[in-house]
């Protein structure tokens, strides 16, 4: 009997369900062509459930997720729920508890996608950011004293372990090797100021590079300079590896130069466990229910999911279909309401082009 891939669906809030539907539609179309079987199980986590029941993410659900092959998320974030509750309670908790220690963000400008950088095209923007996803400032180490008094003190510490850095670097080196593009890995840090944390990162980086990856060029850029180069010379980047917070910041910048949140996808990856894939755009409450949001990021997140499941041929089929649809000029813009097609029509186009 052939394998059945078990996928947990987390449509979430706002436009999340709309874009996830298209992602699933495309995966089902690929499955029909390649004779693969997927079993999708729906989970109603998000703002609506929280408002109704007060539940964010029951422990038993986290345990259930561990039995899936992968997870596919729409969006988390609700206008009536205080910022942080759902993000921390669902997204961040899953990253920590499922040990999804890599945040993988391919940054690729596809043909006919508008780029805000003058004189830059698809030949200039094709790199990958590997963000550490379980340490740094996201650990939540610190606290307040004398809260709500004029003498309040707040401390928030960045936790960096050699173990956490090494496993992230290892993944980044492997991505660089597998891409085999420029064979260049850039460590993005701040060694001139964060002299403890990034000293450790840099030593670990140089050591692993010298010992295990002599064919890969080791490059270093401070995070501020990384932002500058990403705008000025994005073609310099092949793979960037960085810590949790810097990775969060530079990947939003990177999303803009690849055409915006409508096309940017990412994966929260545990290479030894269960990974979760998502479009980077949020829940976009103002576009909800109008069938105008761009589903391409969700569709490409689906391709990343297949790739991680070892279905690289099928992942490529999806990417090729997206490229073909974009090259045809049928999708006028990446922005919601300006695509010239509805959300479901874009999904149909990709599914039928496979
Ligand atoms: C991201 C998001 C999250 C993060 C938020 C929603 C907690 O911005 O995935 O980049 O900061 O990591
Ligand atoms: Mn972010």
What is the domain partition of the chain in residue ranges? 1-100+284-354, 115-258
pLDDT of residue 2: 83
**Choice from 78, 94, 248 to test ligand 1 binding pocket (greatest atom count within 8 A of CB):** 248
Ligand 1: atom nearest CA of 251 is 10
CA of 354 to the centre of ligand 2 (A): 31
Give, using CA atoms, the residue closest to atom 1 of ligand 1. 248
Give, using CA atoms, the residue closest to atom 11 of ligand 1. 248
Q: Do domains 1-100+284-354 and 115-258 have the same CATH topology?
A: yes
Give 156's contacts (C-beta < 8 A, 6+ positions apart).
137, 141, 142
pLDDT of residue 319: 98
Query: In whole angstroms, what is the distance from residue 115 CA to residue 345 CA?
Result: 23
Q: Extract the residue ranges of the chain whose pLDDT is less than 50.
A: none
SS3 label, residue 83: coil
Tokens of residue 240, six digits = 């960037």
**Choice from 13, 83, 86, 91 to test ligand 1 binding pocket (greatest atom count within 8 A of CB):** 91
CATH topology of domain 1-100+284-354: Isopropylmalate Dehydrogenase (3.40.718)
* CATH classification code of 115-258: 3.40.718.10
pLDDT of residue 156: 97
User: Could you give phi then psi for residue 345, rounded to 5 degrees?
Assistant: -65, -40
Tokens of residue 275, six digits = 């990974």
Q: Is the pTM of this model over 0.95?
A: yes
Give, using CA atoms, the residue closest to atom 2 of ligand 1. 248
Residue ranges around ligand 1 (CB below 6 Å): 87, 91-92, 248
Please identify which residue in the block is written with the tokens 């029951």: 58
Give, using CA atoms, the residue closest to atom 6 of ligand 1. 87
pLDDT of residue 1: 57
Query: In whole angstroms, what is the distance from residue 173 CA to residue 176 CA?
Result: 5
């Amino acid at each position: 009997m052939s394998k059945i891939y078990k996928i947990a669906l987390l449509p979430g809030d706002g436009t999340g369900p709309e874009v996830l539907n298209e992602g699933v539609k495309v995966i089902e179309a690929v499955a029909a062509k390649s004779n693969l079987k997927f079993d999708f199980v729906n989970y109603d986590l998000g703002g609506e459930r929280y408002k109704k029941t007060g539940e964010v993410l029951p422990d038993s659900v986290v345990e259930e997720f561990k039995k899936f092959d992968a997870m596919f998320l729409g969006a988390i974030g609700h206008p009536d729920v205080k910022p942080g509750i759902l993000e921390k309670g669902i997204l961040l908790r899953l990253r920590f508890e499922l040990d999804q220690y890599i945040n993988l963000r391919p940054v690729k400008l596809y043909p006919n996608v508008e780029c805000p950088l003058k004189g830059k095209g698809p030949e200039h923007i094709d790199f990958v950011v590997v963000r550490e996803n379980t340490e740094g400032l996201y650990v939540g180490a610190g606290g307040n004293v004398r809260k709500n008094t004029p003498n309040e003190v707040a401390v928030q510490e960045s936790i960096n372990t050699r173990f956490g850095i090494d496993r992230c670097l290892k993944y980044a080196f492997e991505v660089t090797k597998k891409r085999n593009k420029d064979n260049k890995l850039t460590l993005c840090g701040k060694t001139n100021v964060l002299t403890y944390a990034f000293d450790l990162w840099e030593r670990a980086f140089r050591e692993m590079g010298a010992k295990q990856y002599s064919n890969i060029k080791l490059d270093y850029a401070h995070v501020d300079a990384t932002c500058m180069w990403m705008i000025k010379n994005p073609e310099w980047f092949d793979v960037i590896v960085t810590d949790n917070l810097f990775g969060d910041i530079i990947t939003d910048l990177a999303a803009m130069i690849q055409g915006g949140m409508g096309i940017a996808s990412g994966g929260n990856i545990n290479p030894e466990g269960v990974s979760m894939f998502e479009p980077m755009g949020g829940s976009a409450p103002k576009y909800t229910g109008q069938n105008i949001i761009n589903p391409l990021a969700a569709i490409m997140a689906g391709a990343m999911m297949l790739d991680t499941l070892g279905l690289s041929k099928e992942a490529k089929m999806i990417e090729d279909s997206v490229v073909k649809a974009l090259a045809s000029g049928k999708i006028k813009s990446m922005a919601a309401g300006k695509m010239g097609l509805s959300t479901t029509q874009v999904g149909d186009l990709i599914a039928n082009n496979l």
